[in-house]
Structure 1
Amino acid sequence: MSDPDAVAVVGGGIVGSAVAYHLAREGVETTLFDRRDEGRATDAGAGIVAPATSSRTGSVPWFEFAVEAADHYPDLVAALEADGATDHGYVRADLLSVAVDADEVDPFERAKRRTERRAEEYGTPEPGTFEELSIDEARDLFPPLSDAERAMVYRDQARVDGRAFAAALRTAGESHGLAVEHADVTDIRTEDDGAGGTGDEAVTGVVADGDSRDFDAVVVAGGAWSGTFGDALGLEVPVEPQRGQIVHLAVDADTAGWPIVSPFRHKYMVSWPDGRVAVGATREDGTGFVPRATLEGLHDVYGEALRVADGLRDAEPVETRVGLRPVARDGLPILGPTPDVAGAFLATGHGPTGLTLGPYSGKVVADLVRGVDPDADLSAFDPARFR
């Protein structure tokens, strides 16, 4: 379809907010329905934007898309600032990769070789922007660091506050006419399209808080809750919640210049300029829609914090965040039009990388809604793969 008169976006996390912002910016009448679910992944995530250091080597399409997504951030930030949304929470930062214990040395070596190959093949990270450091040099960058085996720094990566960035997208979108409603969309209305188009049915609107509303197109960006619309779309949307527990620590230090810290046991530390360090995150499958902290999960996070940075032992725990990541069955995002309902689109399934991929995913899906061919190759993310 092209140039729909009115579009509904379901889900106010970073992905849905990005879709809505880009549509509104292009003059499309857009309504963002934000149910504000407790446990939304956007509100909990620490936001590391560093695809070149990712361990996700099994999917070339994912990596290539992630590089484009990271490159999209500076242009998007400039556009948001031009629209007056300056409190976006996006900051350039170094990333410190550390092998703390001996069993992490082999993964460290593999990551180093992978980075060198990516730099040669893709030009990212740029040659000269990463190097191995001594542990003393690493501790100069991140003073709480424990004794460690190996360390490497990646310059000019980024971190983003998901809550702040999604809010900035909505604020900037509103300056272009975006309507944001706190409402629960419970159904997508369709009818026989009668035109032999892309599917047997076509979108006619949504049901929000019991009221039937007319729209030409709908984008489902409901995060872990996206699968509830499978029946309406005539398509399985195999997205399940993966719980992540994150602890925020207050430290008596100037943390503004501290790097992101990435060890090799699926945890991380992200420092913010207000004397705060976020440590996370658990990856818990099969927990359902239960966004609460657990003793076992917090023990895991605190234990990793002390293992990697024993200099944080006097830090004060000030906040616990719990998010439900939307994980697709095959681990890849689900982006694009649904095969049997014209005017229906999906933008979900980003798993633990939603804050990296989300804003760019929003842009490319907004392009598709408008009938514009996106710059990115989305074939690996096509919803029709679950048909």
Structure 2
Amino acid sequence: MSKYVVIGAGILGASTAYHLAKAGHDVTIVDRFDAGQATDAAAGIVSPWLSQRRNKDWYYLVQNGARYYPTYINELHELGESTTGYDQVGTLALHKDERSLTKMYDLVLKKKELAPEIGELTPITTAEAIQDYFPYLSNYDYALHVSGGAKVDGRALRNATLKAAEKLGATCLFKEATFSDKLYVGKEAMSYDTLIVTTGAWGNEWANAFGIQPLVTHQKAQIIHLKAKEPFKQKPPVIMPPGTQYFVPNLDGTVVIGSTHEDTNKFHPYPTAHGVSSILDQAFSHGEALKSFTVEDVRVGFRPFTANFLPSFGYLPNVDHVLFANGLGASGLTVGPYLGSVLSEMAQGNALDFDVNSYQLADHD
């Protein structure tokens, strides 16, 4: 039995710890729980097949991330963790014209050949049919419904994963971890066979500690929670209008709307009037009826990105037994559970079924 220490308890670190504990190892996960963690703030859409991004290495991770979710969630359920925040409710992608709808339909249909988990594709060509899915939308006559799409609450999934890891013997410590000549948790030195660093937007603190170049930048994301006067009569799908905004409706009538994309070098984990205003102005252009909703919450998270917006993971050069992973960006909730299983295999020295060279840290220094 090997001893592993995971620094960072976002969904990536939590999943890594869970998979190592499931394999029977001695696992400690450490996090100081700074305000602004991306996982803690995020409400995610698991529908990577709708993206028009062409980077094959990125798509490999997100496609496998989506495919892995049912297995992962079933394992958590078997361990008694039923509140995972994950639900396969389908995705409704909105379009302004029939041409863009046809283009997306053809693209996703082609992807379905290798990803049957996409499910059924249903083109929609009337405003009334769109409003049957989500009655507060306006200005749209075209949409594509993808039955395999899902939503996930990052905070709920992270908590369920940590609890499952603890049930399998892992130890969770909510403390400060630092590295100088050795690893310190609080004021105590901690030994390990392999150290795994998954600290997201705070990753450069650890890069500096190991004497390597900064690895990540970050964006501030503000996400607003609205609530309707009445709950929905049936589970609505997640909504993807044109552009970068998304809606994650819940059966109780809440609708999570995100997000801002604010480049910053600061950690200011508080909502701003400008950020909230920009989200709402854009949301009202998709559904003016949303103006009647109440504001329930605004969450803030910092998304980490590498220079080429591709997740990076691997063993640090010239540093013994340190595995580093970062840069999941806006795909963190889609990729996190799956990539945690990958990091677990790498940490144990097991062979992988894909080439990791495209994701090596040295490629993105």
Provide the TM-score with structure 1 as the length reference: 0.89
CA RMSD of aligned residues (A): 1.9
Contact 1:188 1:229 in 2 (8 A): no
Matched position secondary structure for 1:313: helix
Tell me which residue corresponds to 1:96: 92
- 1:233 is displaced (CA, Å) by 3.0
User: Structure 1 residues 211, 91: CA separation in 2 closer, same or farther (over 3 Å shift)?
Assistant: same
Cα 1:311/1:172, change in 2 over 3 Å: same
Is 1:318 the counterpart of 2:284? The answer is: no
Letter in 1 for 2:135: P
- CA-CA distance at 1:109 after TM superposition: 5.2
Listed as ranges, the gaps of 5+ residues in structure 2 are none
Assess if the C-alpha contact under 8 Å between 1:129 and 1:155 holds in 2: yes
SS in 2 for 1:317: strand
Q: How far did residue 238 of structure 1 move?
A: 1.7
Give the corresponding residue for 1:70: 66
Structure 2 counterpart of 1:129, from 93, 106, 121: 121
Q: Deviations over 1:87-119 (max 9, x none)?
A: 11110111111125x7xx765554344323323
The 4+ residue runs of structure 1 with deviation greater than 6 A are none
- The answer to whether the Cα contact below 8 Å between 1:118 and 1:125 also exists between their aligned partners in 2 is no
Partner of 1:139: 131
Counterpart amino acid of residue 117 in structure 1: K
Equivalent positions of 1:122-271 (< 5 A) are: 122-124=114-116, 126=118, 128-187=120-179, 189=181, 205-255=182-232, 256-271=234-249
Deviates more, 1:26-35 or 1:224-233: 224-233
Within the candidate set 99, 112, 115, 1:119 is matched to 112
Q: Partner of 1:27 in structure 2?
A: 24
Which AA in structure 1 matches 2:48?
P
Amino acid at match of 1:236: Q
Return the letter of the residue paired with 1:119.
K
Shift of 1:304: 1.5
SS in 1 for 2:309: coil
* Identity across the alignment (%): 30
Contact 2:306 2:364 in 1 (8 A): no
Q: 1:212 deviation in Å? A: 1.4
Structure 1 residue 206 displacement after superposition: 1.2
Distance of aligned partners of 1:223 and 1:290 in 2 relative to their CA distance in 1, 3 Å threshold: same
2:281 matched residue in structure 1: 303
Measure the CA separation in 1 of the matches of 2:277 and 2:99.
Answer: 26
Q: Distance in 2 between matches of 1:44 and 1:330?
A: 24
2:259 alignment partner AA: A
What amino acid does structure 2 have at the position aligned with 1:67?
Q
How many angstroms does 1:6 deviate by?
A: 1.1
Equivalent pairs, count: 364
Q: CA deviation at 1:347?
A: 1.9
2:6 maps to what in 1?
9
In the alignment, residue 116 of structure 1 is paired with which amino acid?
A: L
Please name the residue that 1:201 is paired with.
Answer: none
